[in-house]
Amino acid sequence: MERQYLTLDEIHDLLSDMLRLVDTICRAEGIRYFLSGGTLLGAVRHKGFIPWDDDIDLMMPRPEFERFLKVAPKRVSGRYELAFPGLTPDYAFPWIRIHDRWTAVEDDGTQRARTSTLFLDIFPIDGMPSNPKLAEAFFRWIRARDILFRCARKREFQPGERLRWLKRPIMALTRVRRPASYGKALYRAAGRFSFDKSHYAGVCVITHYGSRERMPAEVFRGAVDVAFEGGQYPAPIGYDTYLRALYGDYMQLPPEDQRASLHNLKAWRAEG
How many alpha carbons fall within 13 Å on the CB side of residue 87? 18
Distance of CA 110 to the CA centre of its chain: 20
The residue ranges of the chain whose pLDDT is under 50 are 109-115
CA 241 and chain centroid, separation: 19
pLDDT at position 113: 38
List residues bridging with 121 in a β-sheet: 57, 97
Q: What is the pLDDT of residue 257?
A: 77
Return the pLDDT at 167: 62
pLDDT digits (tens, 9 = 90+) for 11-46: 999 999 999 999 999 999 999 999 999 999 999 999
11 vs 4: CA distance, rounded Å: 13
pTM of the predicted protein model = 0.90
Measured from the Cβ of residue 1, the count of other Cβ atoms closer than 10 Å reads 3
